[in-house]
Amino acid sequence: MDITAVNQKISSYYTATAGDYFSLLKPRVMSLVIFTALIGLIVAPG
């Protein structure tokens, strides 16, 4: 294995896309947290 093959393998392993970062945010979980917080604000007395 030569050095260029190693470099290509490393660079392809560490590249991330915007979709990867978006999946880290876990949109369904975050929307559930926001929904629950809003309901709590509406239902809370005072």
What angle is formed at CA 11 by the lines to CA 13 and CA 8, rounded to 5 degrees? 105
Return the ∠ at Cα 34 (arms to 45 and 31), rounded to 5°: 150
Q: Residues 1-46: pLDDT tens digits?
A: 577 766 666 666 667 788 888 888 888 999 999 999 999 999 998 7
pTM of the model: 0.50
pLDDT at 36: 97
Output the pLDDT for position 1: 59
